[in-house]
Amino acid sequence: MAQFNIRIAGTVFSVTSLFESTRDYCRSYLTEAPPEHSIAVCPDDLRYEQQALDQEAAEEGLKRRKFSDPFLERAAIQRKAADFLLCRSTLLLHGSGIALDGKGYLFAAARCGTGKSTHTGYWRQVFGSRCITVNDDKPFLQITSGGVTMHGAPWSGKHGLHTNISVPLQGLCILERGSENRILRLSPAEAFPLLLHQSLLPGTAADGRQEQLVQMLAETVPLWCMTCTKDPRAAEVAFGAMSTTH
């Protein structure tokens, strides 16, 4: 059992976890500030997460995997934090987010295996120390009428790439594999269905809060669709378009 506080997307949560390893997993986000909301994990939460992941695997035609209890606990904490943050206009989105020169760029995949992490890896390769990974799998997006802020979080996929920073989101791009590097603007109506799907955690369905926030996101941030090759020059093409939009 462990108890600690973490700050996620500007909100402080007190966490009561079953495993000491969870504190270490969240170490970059630990804080002594007073909590605004409490999260506690019990064995039922672990069973729920495993069932949700089983359901997701079945829907995507993937082989079922048995996950470790510490992994399931971390997923449960992410779910509880994401659910609470909806009331603070903050949305979790499945994508790879990076910061370049203090501005954020987020890449979502049109389909599983498109290579969003590979693409943002090209950004780090091309732009070097100017480029920082905010979150490689599920950043939090705080959405207001004046803009969107992308926040780092410890839940960052198989590569474990994340940084405890917050940056204004300059653009959001949906990636597809192609034979050339080509990027085009996308309308909010075109992007909405995919963005809504990418805002869902395994085993959940959209509700009104998510739909409203996804609509605000689509209407607030410049949207793009890009076909890209497995070539670092794809990063240059994406940055050239997305960095010039205001």
pLDDT digits (tens, 9 = 90+) for 7-36: 999 999 999 999 999 999 999 999 999 999
pLDDT for the residue numbered 61 = 84
Domain 90-242: which topology?
Rossmann fold (3.40.50)
Cα–Cα–Cα angle for 244, 102, 171, nearest 5°? 40
Ranges for all domains in the chain classified under CATH 3.40.50:
90-242
Q: How far, in Å, CA of 90 to CA of 7, rounded? A: 14
pTM summary value:
0.94
pLDDT for the residue numbered 112 = 65
pLDDT string in tens for the chain (246-residue length): 899 999 999 999 999 999 999 999 999 999 999 999 999 999 999 999 999 999 988 888 888 999 999 999 999 999 999 999 999 999 999 999 999 999 999 999 877 666 889 999 999 999 999 999 999 999 999 999 889 999 999 999 888 999 999 999 999 999 998 889 999 999 999 999 999 999 998 888 878 899 999 999 999 999 999 998 889 999 999 999 999 865
Beta strands in the chain (DSSP E): 2-8, 11-17, 37-40, 90-92, 96-100, 103-109, 131-135, 140-144, 147-151, 166-177, 182-185, 223-228
Residues in the chain, overall count: 246
The DSSP code sequence of 176-213 is EE-SS-EEEE--HHHHHHHHHHHTPPTT----HHHHHH
pLDDT digits (tens, 9 = 90+) for 119-130: 999 999 999 999
pLDDT for the residue numbered 60 = 80
Q: How far, in Å, CA of 241 to CA of 225, rounded? A: 11
pLDDT for the residue numbered 143 = 96
pLDDT digits (tens, 9 = 90+) for 193-220: 999 999 998 888 878 899 999 999 999 9
Taking residue 24's Cβ as centre, other Cβ atoms within 10 Å add up to 12
